[in-house]
Structure 1
C-alpha cells in the first residue's frame, strides 16, 4: 500500500493533542506559507515526527513506504495523547504493527502491560536550623522518594511511596521504609481507598501523616469523606514530641483514627469542615492533656483566590477533650507559586500560625511546628525544569513556655 507524505499528515491530529502552538518558521523550501498543509508540516517537523530530506525539501507528493510511515507513527506514539487522538494512534499502530515491531516499538498486549506501571518521585536536600531560646539544632537531610502507580483496570490502581533518608550531617546508614501502599478505586463522583494511605481529612494542615485503614469520598463540587483505621504515632517526624513521649511512656505507639469531612471546591472558593476522634493512652501522658485517652478535634478551613496570582486561606481547629494547648489556627496570603514544569516561575507567602500541640498533632508546615506560634514567610523558585528551590523562615514563641522560637528551612527538589 502506497501513500503520499501529504496523506500521512493525519498524524498531525496526534501532535495537536500534545502541542497547541504551530512552529513559527517552515523548515522546508518546497512548502509555501499559503499551502493547505503548511501549519501541519511545520508542527510535525518542530515536534520531530518528520525530518524531510537533506536538501531542505519536504517532497510532499513523493510516495512513501510502509516502513517510512511506521517511523512517523512510532514518533507520534511517543506523544502523550488521549481521546480521539489516541484512538487514531492505536488504529495506525495496528495497521503498521509488523513494521513497528521491526523498529523495536512495543505494541503487543503483553508488552503494553509494562506501560501500566508509572514511576514518579524526587530526590531532595533539606537544611533546617531550629532554635528555642539559645538552644539550636541544625540538620542536613537527603531523601530519595519513589511513588509508583500500577494500573489494575480502568477503575482501580495500586499506589505506594518508598522513602530512603540519610542524615547528611552524620553520613551514616540510611533509613529505607515503605511509607504508603494502598489500592484506589475511582468511579464517577466516587472514590475508595484501602491500605496504608495518606490522611484524607485535614492532611494538609494538622494531620500530615498516614494511616492503615480505608477511606471513602463521594461527590463532585461538594465532597464528603469518611476515613477510619490505625495511626502509628512513631512513623512521622511531625508528630509533636509530647504525644510521642506519652506513647513511649504508655507503651502504646498506635492510635485508632476515625474522621469525617465535608469540602466544597469550585471556582475561586474552597471551604470545608471536619471532625476527628483519635484514641490512644499516649494522650494521658501528654503535657496539658489531663486524664483523657481520646482526642475530639473539630476543624474548619477556607481559601479564596482573588485572581490567578493572589489567594488568602486559613484554618481553625480545636480539641475539645484537651485541657490546654487545644487550639490551632493559621492565616496565609499566597502570591503565585513555583511550577516545576515552568522554569523561572516563582511564588511567595506570608502567614501567621498558632499550633497548639494537643490539636495540631502532625502539622504540615515546614516553618512553624507543633507547640509554637508566630510569623512565617517563604518563597520558592523553579530553577530549571523539574527543579525547585524553597526557602522559609519562622519567628515566634513556644506556646507552653513563651520561649523565643525560630526556624530556617531550605530545600532543593529534583522531581521526576
Structure 2
C-alpha cells in the first residue's frame, strides 16, 4: 500500500505542529542513501525522519518505490498520533488522522500487543539479570619482601608467599533469593611467579648405597598453587554466606556463613575470614549511630603434630604414626558501636568476649589464646582539613600472658590519609602513611594484603608504611606500598628487620 499525498501532507503537518527540536533529532533524509536532495518528497521525509515518525528500512535506505505493508503504515500513523497528542491541530487534520486511525485499528492493536509483549520480555530479562550478579578484580603484583625469609627462620619451611609477585583474582557473586535475602559467594586465586624467591624445604633421598640423607628441595610455583598449599586462594569457592534484611522495617542487616570480616576502622582486632553470624542495625534516634552483634570464630585454625615411634627394646625405633593436635581459633561474641561525634569526627568502640576454645599456659584446652578472656577496641577518625583524614585505633586484650612476651596484650595504629581514589574519576589519587605497633595476643585473625600478620606468622610488628594510590584509567587502580624498616618479633626473643616494597595494579570489573 502506498502512502497517498494527502496522508503524507497531514502527517507532515502534524509533526510540524508539535514543534521542531534540534536536540532531539534521530535522523534526517540524508540518512537514507536512496533519497536524493532534489527529490520532490525530500523536505517532507526530512521532517518526518527528524521527528522520529519514519525510520527507513534499517539498512540506511528508505525504499520509497516499494509498497508499504499495512503494519508499516499503522506504525507511521501510531507515531504521528503520539506526536500530536496534546498538541493543537486543525479540525480537518484531526479528521484525516482519525480516519487513518480507524482504517488501521486492527494493525495498531496488533502493534500495541507486540510492544506490550516486548516490554514484558524486557522486564523479565532485567529481573533475571538482577537476580544474579558477578564482579571482582584482577591484580598484577610485583615487589620485594624479605618477610618470606623471616618465615623460614621461624618455621623451618616457607609456604606463604601469597602477597608478593603474583597474579591474583577475586571473583564475587550474588544470587537474589527474594527482596530481603541474597546468597553471596567469593572465589580467590593466587598464581605466583619468580620461584627463585622461595626457600628450600626438607626432604629425604637415598644415595647409591641406599643410605638415606636429608636434603633440601625447592618449593616451586606449581606446588605452591596446589589446593592443599593455599586453601583460601586456590580458585575454589572460599566464602559462602547469606545476607538477610530482618525485622518489621527490614533494617537488621544480617550475615550468616563464612565471609571476610573486619572489626574497627582499621580492622585492628580482626581482618580475615570468619565463620558465624553478624547483624548490623541503625540505632533509632541515635543520630547516625549503628550497632552490631556478632557470634563468630576465625577460620584460621592450625595444628601441631608429634611423630610416634616404637622401640623394639634395643633402641631401634620404627615410625608408627603422626599424632595431630588441632589448635582451634576461639569462639567469640562481639558487640560494636560506631557513628559520628560531630561533623568531622567519627568513632567506633566495641567489646569481644572469648566464649570457647581457649588454651592456657599449662596445656589445657585446644585453642591458642593463652588464658585470654576478651578484648576492647576503640577507633577515632578526624578530618581537620577537607582532604586530610587522621585515624587512630587501639585494641587491648584481657590476658595473663607471660611478661616475656612484652606488650603482647595491646595493638595500636595511626594512619594519615590525603585525598583518595575514585574508580569513576580518572586521575584521582591518594597518599597515606601508617604506623603500627602490634602485640602477640591482641588480634583474632588476619590475612591483610600488607602481610603484617598471617603470611609471615609474626607475633609482633612495629614500624611505618607509606603508600600512594591513583586511578590511571576507568576502573583501574594502581597502588605502591613501601615499609622500609619493620621490626618483627618472630620467635619471641629474636626480633628481625623486615622491609616491603610492593606495587599492585587492580582491574575492577
**Which residue of structure 2 lines up, in the alignment, with residue 270 of structure 1?**
346
State the Cα distance separating 1:124 from its structure 2 match.
1.1
**Residue 252 of structure 1, aligned match among 324, 327, 351:** 327
Per-residue CA shift, 1:325-381, capped at 9, x if unaligned? Answer: 121111110011122222211111011111112113434461644511011100111
The CA deviation at 1:392 is 0.6
Q: Partner of 2:235 in structure 1?
A: 176
The corresponding residue for 1:392 is 481
**In 1: Cα distance, 2:270 partner to 2:123 partner:** 45
1:192 counterpart = 2:251: no
What do you get for the CA RMSD once the two structures are aligned? 4.0
Q: Is the 8 A contact 2:251 2:281 kept in 1?
A: yes
Distance change >3 Å, CA 379–CA 373, structure 1 → 2: same
**Which residue does the alignment assign to 2:294?**
227
Local SS of the residue matching 1:292: coil
1:340-351 matches, cutoff 5 A = 340-351=423-434
d(CA) in 2 for partners of 1:136, 1:233: 17
- Tell me the secondary structure at the aligned position of residue 298 of structure 2: strand
User: Which position in structure 1 is the counterpart of 2:357?
Assistant: 280
Aligned equivalents of 1:155, 1:352: Cα separation in 2: 41
Give runs of aligned pairs for residues 37-116 of structure 1, distance below 5 A: 38=23, 41=24, 51-53=26-28, 55=30, 60-61=50-51, 63-64=53-54, 98-99=114-115, 106-107=121-122, 109=124, 112-116=127-131
Does structure 2 conserve the Cα–Cα contact (< 8 Å) formed by 1:132 and 1:403?
Answer: no
After TM superposition, the score normalised by the length of structure 1 is 0.70
Report how far residue 168 of structure 1 moved. Answer: 2.7
Contact residue 174 and residue 184 of structure 2 kept, 8 A = yes
- Alpha-carbon shift at residue 393 of structure 1 (Å): 1.2
Cα pair 1:280 1:294 within 8 Å, conserved: no
Deviation at 1:112, TM superposition (A): 2.6
Alignment CA distance shift 1:340-1:178 (3 Å) = same
User: Which runs of 5 or more structure 2 residues have no equivalent in the other structure?
Assistant: 1-10, 32-45, 56-73, 80-110, 153-160, 195-219, 227-233, 307-323
Q: 3-state DSSP class of the match of 2:254?
A: strand
| Cα distance change, pair 365–124 in 1 and its aligned pair in 2 (3 A) | closer
Q: Distance in 1 between matches of 2:338 and 2:480?
A: 30
Aligned to 1:26: none
Q: Deviations over 1:110-149 (max 9, x none)?
A: 7733432111111112334322698598732222221112
Q: d(CA) in 1 for partners of 2:15 and 2:409?
A: 71
Return the offset for 1:198. Answer: 3.1
- 8 A Cα contact 1:133 1:403, kept in partner: no
Distance 1:127 1:351 in 2: 21
Distance in 1 of aligned mates of 2:243 and 2:117: 34
Q: Distance in 1 between matches of 2:183 and 2:305?
A: 31
Gaps of 5+ in 1: 10-29, 33-37, 42-49, 71-94, 235-243
Q: Relative to structure 1, is the Cα distance of residues 245 and 410 closer, same or farther in structure 2, using a 3 angstrom cutoff? A: farther
Structure 2 counterpart of 1:212 = 275
Q: Which has the larger Rg?
A: 2
> Structure 2 residue aligned with 1:121, among 133, 136, 157?
136
- How many aligned positions are there? 344
- What is aligned with 2:392? 314
Q: Provide the rounded CA distance (Å) in 2 between the counterparts of 1:291 and 1:205.
A: 17
**CA distance in structure 2 between the aligned counterparts of 1:397 and 1:273, rounded to whole angstroms:** 28
Distance 1:291 1:303 in 2: 30
Q: Is the 8 A contact 2:298 2:445 kept in 1?
A: no
